[in-house]
Structure formats: C-alpha cells, structure tokens
C-alpha cells in the first residue's frame, strides 16, 4: 500500500476538473498507453492570456490522477506565462508530497502543461531528429533527462527512475543514465571546488554535529589539524588516544562520516 | 483498518488462518513449548507431534514416505532449498530450464544462478498462458541439471501439466531433476507426486489457511540434496534450526482441512469465481479475460480493463472494502507491468489495467454479488477519466453496444 497523503487520496477519489473542453485553446499531452500513464490537458485561455478553465483526462495510477487534478486547480485563474513557471516539485508539494517512486507523476503533469502552453503559442515542440533517445521503453530523450536531473537535483539511478521512469523497465539504458548522472554531478562539483577555508568550516561542522558527540560518549574527541587538497589531517584526543581500537574508529566512523557528508574522495590521516 | 466489511478477493496473495488451524496451534506456544530435540518427555512429546504433522503433509503431497517431507519457513525457502540443494549436490551439469512465468522467488534465484555461471533457458507461454511441453523437451540436453516449472500460475491460475513435463524430461535425460513450485496449486487442486517422476515440490502454508512463515518441501527419497541451512540435525540434517512446532502443527491441520475441502473448492468456489468472472465480463464492455477459461485453479480469474490503469481500480475498490491485486506496474512500485501477462502477450491496452481476483472457501455469494454490483460503477467512473475516449468508443461499437 502506498503511503499517499490525504490530499492525494482526496484528489483521486474526487478528481477536480476531469473531462475535456470542446474548442479548447490549447491541448497538451504527456506519456503514452504503453508506458502505463498518460495525461491530456485542455486549456481555455481568454484574450488577456488568463487560463479561465482547465480540464484533464488521465490514464494512470492514483498519484497520476491526483497530480493532474491538482495541476488544473493550480493553473486556473493564472496568466499563461505565470502558469509556465510551475514546476513538478510545486505540484508534488501542493499534494502534500508524493512517494519517491511516484514523483514521475508530477513530472508528467509538468510535461503536459509545457506541451499545452507550447501549443497555445503555436511553438513547435521539437521532434528534433538529432535528439538522442536514452530510454527506449519509455521514449525518454537525453535533453529531457538532463533537465529533470538538474531541476530536481537527482543523484542516483533510483532517483532518475522515480522521477522520469527512465531505465525502469528493461534496464538496458541504465549504464547510459549513470554516465549522464556522473557527467552532470561531476560537472557541478568541478564548477565549485571548495576553498580551503570553506573546506575547514565544512569539516568542523561535520565533526561538531556527527563525530564529536559520539566520541565524547566514550571520553574521547577529535581535532582537525590541517587540510591539504583531499587529505584531512586529524588528531584523536582524550581516551581515543590510548584506545587500541582508535584505527577502527578512524576508518569505520570518522572517515565514513566525512565522506558521506562532504566528499567520497577524502582521505583521512591521523597525526 | 478493521475487516468487518472487508471483501477479501486476494487469496493468492495470502489467506486467513482457519479458526480450526489457529485452535490446534495455540497450545504449542506457551503450554507445550518444549524443544522437540530434548530428551525428557516434555520436549520429546513435540517430536511426536511433528512426526504426525509430517505424516499429514506426506498424504497431502501423495508421497510414499514422511522421510520425503521437510518443513521450511516459506515457499521461497522451499524453492531455494530444492534448487540450490540439487545443484550443489551434483555440480557436473550447468544447464537449467524454467518458464518465463514462474514466481519471482524462483525467477530471481535463476537470475542469481546465471551470475554464478549456470545457463538458463526460459520457456514462454501462449496467449492463453499455457506452456508447450515439446519446447521443454527440446531444450533438455545432457548438461541439463534441472527443470523447474510451477504447478499453477499465481496471476492467471493456469495449471501446468507438471507430471507430463517430468515424464518427458526424464525420457530425454533421466539424470535431470524436476522441481515443481506448487505454492499456488496446494489447497486448490490435488497436488500429487505419486506415480510421477517429479523429484521435488514446494508449498507455502499461508496460501491455504495456515499461518505465514511455514512451508514444506517434498524431496523424492532417491534425490541427493545439500542442505542450505547448516547447523543442528533437525529435518534429517537437511534444514537446521529448532522446529517451528506451532506452525508445523498448523500447516498439517490446514493441509488436512484443504484436502477435505478440495471438492468444495472445485464446485462451490469455482461456481462463485465463474459467477464473478461472467458478471464482470458481461456487464463491462472494456473487460477481457486475460487467460484461457479452461484448465485453471478454481479460485482465480485475471481480467484486463482496457484503457484504464490497475492501481487506480484497486484504490477505488479499496474504498469499497474490496481487496484484489493487479499486474499493473504502478502497484508494485516497479515500472514494468506483470512479467506473466507480458509473456502471454496481453495487449498493452489491457496490460496496465489487469486485475486478479482470487477467492477462497470463505468467500460468500453475497460478497461476489456485491463485487459484481460495484464493479461497473468503478470501471465507468475511471473509463470516463481516460484520455482514450475515441478508442473506447470504437471498442464499444465493435462489441455492438451503442
């Protein structure tokens, strides 16, 4: 059983604005039958650009219907350019959150909205032939993936599957997705390398918050001595100094905590 | 969550513990709690109890000797113990044959064994969900260590001709072992290893009104099996660990009751299943039966609702107190819909909207009537939400409904 919020349950039980609009000013679609979910969004827009009515038809699970229903409530009364700023995250938040595995439902809502607005402005939706399809099962392009990874700060393959479904069926494209993830996440690391001062502050914060409290329970503590690139020099103090298990503490606890909270590539040296 | 108004039509997932089963189990928790391995009477008494239970399970399988029966903790454990056990005992062969529609507890084990160097042939099914024995026969070679096939499929209820399969396999390679996963057959049809060349067969108690956490495995006396769990001498040294006495008593009682209820299952339960199935298929134009109507266990039906999605159907049924299950991707959290329905080539218009109803001897006619009454309303509500109105209209016209 999914842990759906009350709002999600209310919306799939009593969907708002379900149906279609004849003579709609804009129609947007996302998803497909074979993928297991699809959303068709109809908009009525007045001459000032205000969305006066929105209706949806959804093939999909409870959270897909809830996302569609919530989306229509969020955009009715808004100027079309305002509506364009709505993100999938805002849809999910308005629903009181979605289970991680269901985030792709909010992404689908956002996609259909984008498509409808593009349709309104008669913008060509790029069936770009050069566009590389990464996931064939769900027909997901590389540029779409890059966008979702950046906008939602996705870190892992599981994140990508939860938000976009890519890689979730046959799994053949998973290595491609990992490569894209690495590319984006390494780039963001390389863009902003921490200065030495920033690094020292960050390390001390982790020590204060996660490491020292544990060591103090056993009458020990730890001091940061120096930082050289990725080499972190520390000194165990108090009872840790004389403890014959200090090396284990250092690698299994201190190093693990620093790596988890700061950077996988850190090296811890005891001085 | 109370169950006063619950209509439980998901008995292939699990079943309620029969009150009579619970009753015979209760004394073995805090009254007769002795360890069956102990020398004094208070413990040793329980080894007699287990012996009697083993006799019951022996009869349930139609086995020759109670020495061929091992108690496990689940259907998954039975499968792992049997499959790994025979492969470990004879490492001279590295080929395995199974079907594409096995339960994940078996399929994932084969995926693991592939990583360990075994080659596995997966046999498909036709659109009715049936298997072609010749395909299995053709795949057997001198390197085939094991053929494994389920007795009945959990999603469609289709029964596989396991005795015939075993015979065919042995006629080509007498050294190939045959494992049958009978988890979904036990309690629904007579599972029978007598006069057959089946070497091993596994069952799970909670599928036939015993508690969860108890299973059993039949292993023909001529089969050499390496133990999976090593430790004490319990289960003839094949499965260490102090025996779960209350559950062993429970599964034996449940097996006896299931045996007695077989006729009821195959007449009354079957009639209710057919009533439900016909009721839904006749009242709902975008419903289709996903398997052959023949050759099924009597309690199961799998129906696809075109152009709507299964999880949404289940959620709406849940609001009415009806429990069923779906092969839809969304329900499980995986993104891929049921491997069984995919192997059958169920069209994707119905694949995501497939619902399995599975009854038990506790299902009543009122419950079935209620479900038949409510289903059209639920499906109509969701069909109205579907973006595929044009396709639905065409479907309606094709079926001659204006």
Place of tokens 């004394």: B27
Task: Decide which of B206, B236, B258 is a domain's last residue.
Answer: B258
- Cα-based distances in Å from A57 to A40, A263, B317, B385: 5, 45, 20, 5
- Whole-angstrom distance, CA of residue A20 vs CA of residue A112: 14
* Residue partners of A80: CB distance under 8 A and separation at least 6: A43, A45, A49, A50, A51, A117, A120
Fold that domain A6-120 belongs to in CATH = Sufe protein. Chain: A (3.90.1010)
- Predicted local confidence at residue B292, as pLDDT: 95
* Residue partners of A197: CB distance under 8 A and separation at least 6: none
Query: B248-275 burial string, b = 16+ CB within 10 Å, else e?
Result: bbbbbbbbbbbbebbeebbebbbebbee
On whether residue B301 sits in a domain, the answer given is yes
Which among A38, A61, A161 has the least Cβ separation from residue B312? A61
Residues B242, B167, single domain; the answer is yes
Q: Could you report the predicted ipTM of this complex, rounded to two decimals?
A: 0.87
Q: Is A69 on the interface with B (CB under 8 A)?
A: no
The burial of A67, by beta-carbon neighbours within 10 Å (0-12 exposed, 13-18 middle, 19 or more buried), is given as buried
- Predicted local confidence at residue B335, as pLDDT: 67
* Mutation target among B315, B334, B346, B347 for the A interface, most CBs of A within 10 A: B315
On whether residue B1 sits in a domain, the answer given is no
Q: Positive or negative CA dihedral for B131, B133, B137, B138?
A: negative
- Predicted local confidence at residue A221, as pLDDT: 87
Contact A59 B386 (CB under 8 A): yes
- How many C-beta atoms lie closer than 10 Å to residue B381's C-beta? 15
Tens-place pLDDT, residues B37-85: 999 999 999 999 999 999 999 999 999 999 999 999 999 999 999 999 9
Residues B269, B252, single domain; the answer is no
The more confident residue out of B345 and A184 is B345
Residues B166, B300, single domain; the answer is no
Cβ pair B258, B59 in contact under 8 A: no
- Whole-angstrom distance, CA of residue A59 vs CA of residue B308: 6
- Predicted local confidence at residue B1, as pLDDT: 52
Cβ pair B145, B102 in contact under 8 A: no
Contact A33 B349 (CB under 8 A): yes
What is the percentage of chain B residues whose pLDDT exceeds 70? 97
∠B65-B70-B75 over CA atoms, to 5°?
Answer: 130
Residues B240, B363, single domain; the answer is no
- Whole-angstrom distance, CA of residue A98 vs CA of residue A101: 8
- For B223-235, what is the mean pLDDT? 94
Structure tokens at B36: 């069956």
Nearest to B98 by CA among B197, B168, B180, B156: B180
- Whole-angstrom distance, CA of residue B383 vs CA of residue B262: 38
* Residue partners of B111: CB distance under 8 A and separation at least 6: none
B358 has a pLDDT exceeding 80: yes
Every domain of chain A with CATH number 3.30.300.130 lies at 196-270
Band of the pLDDT at B330, cuts 50, 70, 90? low
- Predicted local confidence at residue B101, as pLDDT: 96
> Which residue(s) pair with A224 in the sheet?
A234
Q: Looking at residue B344, which CATH number applies to its domain?
A: 3.90.1150.10
Cβ pair B164, B134 in contact under 8 A: no
Q: Which residues does B contribute to its contact with A (CB < 8 Å)?
A: 307-312, 315-316, 319, 328-331, 333-337, 348-349, 352, 384-389
Q: Is A163 on the interface with B (CB under 8 A)?
A: no
**DSSP state, residue A79:** B
Mean per-residue pLDDT over chain B, rounded: 95
CATH, domain A196-270, list 3.30.70.2190, 3.30.300.130, 3.40.50.1700, 4.10.410.60 = 3.30.300.130
The burial of A36, by beta-carbon neighbours within 10 Å (0-12 exposed, 13-18 middle, 19 or more buried), is given as buried
- For B334-344, what is the mean pLDDT? 86
Nearest to B188 by CA among B293, B73, B295: B295
Task: Decide which of B219, B238, B258 is a domain's last residue.
Answer: B258
- Whole-angstrom distance, CA of residue B367 vs CA of residue B373: 10
* Residue partners of B43: CB distance under 8 A and separation at least 6: B34, B35, B36, B37
Cβ pair B293, B341 in contact under 8 A: no
Which among B312, B352, B387 has the least Cβ separation from residue A57? B387
- Predicted local confidence at residue B122, as pLDDT: 98
Place of tokens 């040793």: B44
Residues B39, B68, single domain; the answer is yes
- Predicted local confidence at residue B2, as pLDDT: 53
Residues B226, B280, single domain; the answer is no
Rounded to the nearest angstrom, the gap between the alpha carbon of residue B35 and the centroid of all alpha carbons in its chain is: 32
- For B6-19, what is the mean pLDDT? 97
Q: Is A42 on the interface with B (CB under 8 A)?
A: no
Q: Looking at residue B249, which CATH number applies to its domain?
A: 3.40.640.10
Q: Kind and range of the H or E element at A54?
A: strand A51-59
Structure tokens at B32: 């007769």
SS3 B344: coil
- Predicted local confidence at residue A240, as pLDDT: 75
On whether residue B250 sits in a domain, the answer given is yes
Q: Which of A105, A135, A173, A240 is catalytic?
A: A105
Residues B88, B232, single domain; the answer is yes
Residues B366, B394, single domain; the answer is yes
Structure tokens at A197: 């001062």
Residues B129, B274, single domain; the answer is no
- Predicted local confidence at residue A227, as pLDDT: 85
- Predicted local confidence at residue A128, as pLDDT: 55
Query: CA neighbours within 13 Å on the CB side: how many for A63?
Result: 30
**DSSP state, residue B16:** P
Residues B23, B121, single domain; the answer is yes
Residues B189, B337, single domain; the answer is no
The burial of A130, by beta-carbon neighbours within 10 Å (0-12 exposed, 13-18 middle, 19 or more buried), is given as exposed
Which among B316, B335, B388 has the least Cβ separation from residue A33? B388
Band of the pLDDT at B329, cuts 50, 70, 90? low
B90 has a pLDDT exceeding 70: yes
Per DSSP (E only), the strands in A71-215 are 133-135, 140-141
SS3 A235: strand
Tens-place pLDDT, residues B156-201: 999 999 999 999 999 999 999 999 999 999 999 999 999 999 999 9
Residues B374, B294, single domain; the answer is yes
- Whole-angstrom distance, CA of residue B50 vs CA of residue A197: 70
* Residue partners of A127: CB distance under 8 A and separation at least 6: none
- Predicted local confidence at residue A116, as pLDDT: 95
- Whole-angstrom distance, CA of residue A87 vs CA of residue A90: 5
- For B106-122, what is the mean pLDDT? 96
Q: Give DSSP secondary structure letters for B166-204.
A: HHHHHHH-TT-EEEEE-TTTBTTB----TTS---EEEEE
- Whole-angstrom distance, CA of residue B75 vs CA of residue B83: 12
On whether residue B375 sits in a domain, the answer given is yes
On whether residue B181 sits in a domain, the answer given is yes
Task: Decide which of B210, B232, B258 is a domain's last residue.
Answer: B258
- Predicted local confidence at residue A125, as pLDDT: 60
On whether residue B2 sits in a domain, the answer given is no
Please count the residues of chain A.
Answer: 271
Please count the residues of chain B.
Answer: 402
Nearest to B358 by CA among B16, B106, B14, B18: B14
Angle between helices A157-164 and A142-151 (to 10 degrees): 110
Count of domains observed in chain B: 2
CATH number of A133-191: 1.10.10.1100
Which among A20, A33, A165 has the least Cβ separation from residue B335? A165
Domain that holds residue B349: 7-12+262-398
Number of H helices, E strands in chain B: 15, 13
- Cα-based distances in Å from B260 to B255, B257, B266: 9, 5, 11
pLDDT under 50: residue ranges of chain A: none
- Cα-based distances in Å from B382 to A21, A256, B161, B307: 18, 50, 38, 9
CA distance B234 to chain A (A): 37
């Amino acid at each position: 059983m999914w842990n759906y919020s009350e709002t999600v349950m209310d919306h799939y039980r009593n969907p708002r604005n379900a149906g279609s609009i004849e003579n709609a000013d804009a129609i947007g679609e996302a998803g497909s039958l074979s993928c297991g979910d699809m959303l068709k969004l109809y908009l009525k827009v007045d001459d000032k650009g205000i969305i006066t009515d929105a209706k949806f038809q959804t093939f999909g699970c409870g959270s897909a219907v809830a996302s569609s229903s919530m989306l229509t409530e969020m955009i009715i009364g808004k100027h079309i350019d305002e509506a364009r700023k709505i993100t999938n995250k805002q849809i999910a938040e308005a629903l009181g959150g979605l289970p991680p595995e269901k985030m792709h439902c909010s992404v689908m809502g956002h996609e259909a909205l984008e498509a409808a607005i593009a349709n309104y402005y008669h913008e060509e939706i790029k069936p770009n032939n050069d566009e590389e399809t990464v996931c064939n099962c769900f027909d997901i392009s590389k540029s779409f993936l890059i966008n979702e990874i950046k906008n939602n700060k996705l870190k892992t393959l599981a994140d990508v599957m939860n938000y976009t479904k890519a890689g979730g069926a046959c799994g053949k494209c998973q290595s491609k997705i990992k490569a894209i993830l690495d590319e984006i996440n390494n780039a963001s690391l390389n863009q902003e390398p921490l200065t030495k001062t920033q690094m020292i502050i960050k390390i001390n914060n982790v020590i204060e918050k996660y490491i020292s409290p544990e060591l103090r329970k056993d009458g020990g503590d730890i001091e940061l001595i120096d930082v050289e690139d990725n080499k972190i020099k520390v000194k165990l103090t108090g009872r840790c100094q004389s403890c014959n298990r200090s090396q284990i503490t250092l690698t299994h606890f201190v190093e693990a905590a620093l790596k988890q909270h700061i950077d996988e590539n850190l090296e811890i040296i005891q001085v | 969550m109370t169950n006063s108004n619950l209509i439980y039509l998901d008995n292939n997932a699990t079943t309620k513990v029969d009150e009579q089963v619970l009753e015979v189990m209760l004394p073995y928790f805090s009254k007769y709690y002795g360890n069956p391995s102990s020398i004094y009477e208070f413990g040793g008494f329980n080894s007699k109890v287990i012996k009697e239970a083993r006799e019951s399970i022996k009869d349930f399988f139609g086995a020759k000797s109670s020495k061929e029966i091992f108690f496990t903790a689940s259907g998954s454990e039975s499968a792992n113990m049997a499959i790994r056990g025979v492969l470990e005992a004879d490492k001279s062969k590295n080929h395995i044959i199974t079907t594409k529609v096995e339960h994940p507890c078996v399929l994932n084990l084969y995926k693991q064994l592939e990583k360990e160097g075994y080659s596995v042939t997966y046999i498909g099914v036709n659109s009715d969900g049936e298997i072609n024995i010749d395909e299995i026969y053709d795949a057997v070679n001198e390197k085939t260590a094991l053929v494994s096939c389920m007795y009945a499929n959990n999603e469609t209820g289709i029964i596989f001709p396991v005795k015939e399969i075993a015979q065919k396999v042995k006629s080509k390679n007498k050294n190939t072992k045959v494992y049958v996963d009978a988890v979904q057959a036990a309690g629904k049809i007579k599972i029978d290893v007598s006069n057959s060349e089946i070497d091993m067969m596994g069952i799970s108690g909670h599928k036939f009104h015993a508690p969860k956490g108890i299973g059993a495995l039949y292993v023909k006396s001529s089969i050499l099996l390496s133990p999976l769990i090593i430790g004490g001498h319990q289960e003839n040294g094949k499965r260490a660990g102090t025996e779960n006495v209350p559950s062993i008593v429970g599964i034996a009682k449940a097996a006896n009751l299931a045996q007695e209820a077989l006729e009821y299952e195959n007449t009354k339960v079957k009639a209710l299943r057919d009533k439900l199935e016909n009721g839904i298929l006749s009242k709902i134009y975008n419903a289709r039966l996903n398997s052959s109507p023949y050759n099924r266990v009597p309690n199961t039906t799998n129906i696809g609702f075109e152009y709507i999605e299964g999880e949404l159907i289940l959620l709406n049924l849940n609001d009415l107190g009806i429990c069923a299950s779906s092969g839809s991707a969304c329900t499980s959290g995986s993104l891929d819909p049921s491997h069984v329905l995919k192997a059958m080539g169920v069209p994707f218009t119905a694949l995501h909207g497939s619902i399995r109803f599975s009854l038990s001897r506790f299902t009543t006619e009122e419950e079935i009537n209620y479900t038949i009454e409510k289903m059209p309303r639920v499906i109509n509500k969701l069909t109205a939400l579907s973006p595929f109105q044009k396709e639905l209209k065409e479907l309606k016209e094709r079926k001659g409904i204006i």
